[in-house]
């Protein structure tokens, strides 16, 4: 049977009992103790059904209680059938006992429902507060987050752009000194300018991946600078250029190489470190440019 239509039947039954109570009040209906007992038992069964529904008990229990309630309702209108089932002695026990039980179950069910409603209301309020609070927080789609990512992308791109200009200049100096088989100290100066990052152990970028590549670049650069300083003859330096790094001006000098049994191998090794450093740098630069193209804004002012 469809639960919706069945519950409508229950509503109609309750309405009918209320009408009978009104008729009894005006003296138009005088039920016997048998009828009152059956109605009370049926009311108790319906109360237990409601109680079971609140506790989410099995359908079999609810169906059994429903059937018992319907049977007693039918018996209440068949006095002869009642006399066959019960003796008058048994029915002398006041039917008020059953009525009180039904009344108690109804009140208990109402209490459980009220507690459930209060709990659900509190949870709804908590959920609403959480959602409202969450809405106030910045997300990746918020204007604040987008602005922050844009500023970070611009900063990282400008940092890479300025450092890359220095690297391009130093590569030009490499081409110049290699013609005379000499050495310049530009890479060493560049490496010394990163001393602050070594001391603080913090890279120049906010992005962890960019900083990892930067430290790979710096490690090879520092190794190359150390070899260049050992191979340079400090007696006759020759200024070949001036370069600005982090807004500071530095003179770049050319040095003759110290001749030793392994100087040629060390010279090659130094430029191998430079090649590895530039490999990490190119990867870093590619990532920074990609982030800038995705998050950043066009800015033609690149200050050293």
Average predicted confidence (pLDDT) for the chain: 75
pLDDT at 21 over 80: no
Rounded CA Rg of the chain: 46
More confident residue, 124 or 230: 230
Query: CB burial class (10 A; 0-12, 13-18, 19+) of residue 141?
Result: exposed
| Percent of the residues in the chain that have a pLDDT greater than 70, as a whole number | 51
Mean pLDDT of 108-132: 63
d(CA 39, CA 19): 13
Query: CB burial class (10 A; 0-12, 13-18, 19+) of residue 119?
Result: exposed
Q: Domain for residue 172, yes or no?
A: yes
Dihedral over Cα of 258, 260, 264, 269: its sign: negative
Structure tokens at 255: 């040095």
Give every CB contact of residue 153 below 8 A, 6+ residues apart in sequence.
291, 292, 294, 295, 296
Last residue of a domain, one of 134, 153, 184: 134
d(CA 136, CA 4): 44
Last residue of a domain, one of 66, 99, 134: 134
Dihedral over Cα of 288, 291, 295, 300: its sign: positive
Count of domains observed in the chain? 2
Residues 220, 163 within the same domain: yes
Residues 214, 168 within the same domain: yes
pLDDT at 55 over 60: yes
Question: In this predicted structure, what is the pLDDT of residue 293?
Answer: 78
Mean pLDDT of 44-52: 69
Mean pLDDT of 156-173: 93
Planar angle of CA 73, 78, 82, nearest 5 degrees = 85
The parent domain of residue 205 ranges over 143-295
Residues 128, 210 within the same domain: no
DSSP string, 52-71: HHHTT--HHHHHHHHHHHHH
Mean pLDDT of 116-141: 59
Top mean-pLDDT range of 55-64, 89-98, 222-231, 284-293: 222-231
Residues 276, 192 within the same domain: yes
- Mean pLDDT is lowest, of 121-125, 204-208, 276-280, for 121-125
Residues 184, 281 within the same domain: yes
More confident residue, 166 or 7: 166
Residues 160, 207 within the same domain: yes
More confident residue, 64 or 231: 231
Residues 168, 264 within the same domain: yes
Residues 175, 126 within the same domain: no
Planar angle of CA 209, 215, 218, nearest 5 degrees = 140
């Amino acid at each position: 049977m469809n639960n919706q239509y069945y519950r409508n039947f229950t509503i109609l039954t309750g309405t009918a009992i209320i009408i009978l109570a009104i008729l009894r009040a005006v003296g138009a209906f005088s039920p016997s103790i048998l009828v009152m007992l059956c109605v009370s038992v049926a009311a108790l069964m319906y109360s237990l059904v409601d109680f079971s529904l609140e506790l989410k008990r099995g359908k079999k229990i609810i169906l059994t209680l429903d059937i018992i309630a319907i049977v007693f309702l039918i018996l209440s209108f068949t006095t002869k059938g009642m006399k066959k089932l019960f003796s008058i002695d048994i029915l002398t026990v006041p039917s008020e006992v059953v009525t009180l039980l039904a009344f108690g179950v109804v009140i208990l069910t109402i209490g459980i429902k009220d507690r459930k409603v209060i709990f659900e209301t509190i949870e709804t309020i908590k959920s609403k507060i959480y959602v409202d609070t969450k809405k106030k927080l910045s997300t990746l789609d918020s204007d604040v987050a987008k602005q922050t990512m844009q500023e970070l992308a611009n900063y990282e791109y400008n940092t890479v752009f300025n450092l890359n200009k220095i690297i391009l200049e130093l590569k030009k100096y490499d081409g110049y000194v290699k013609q005379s088989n000499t050495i310049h100290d530009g890479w060493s100066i560049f490496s010394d300018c990163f001393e602050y990052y070594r001391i603080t152990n913090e890279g120049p970028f906010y992005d962890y991946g960019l900083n990892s590549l930067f430290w790979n670049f710096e490690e090879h650069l520092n190794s190359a600078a150390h070899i260049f300083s050992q191979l340079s003859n400090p007696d006759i330096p020759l200024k070949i250029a001036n370069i600005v790094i982090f807004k500071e001006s530095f003179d770049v000098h050319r040095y003759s190489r110290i001749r030793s049994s392994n100087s040629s191998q060390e010279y090659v090794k130094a430029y191998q470190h430079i090649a590895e450093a530039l490999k990490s740098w190119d990867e870093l630069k590619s990532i920074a440019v990609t982030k800038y193209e995705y998050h950043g804004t066009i800015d033609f002012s690149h200050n050293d």
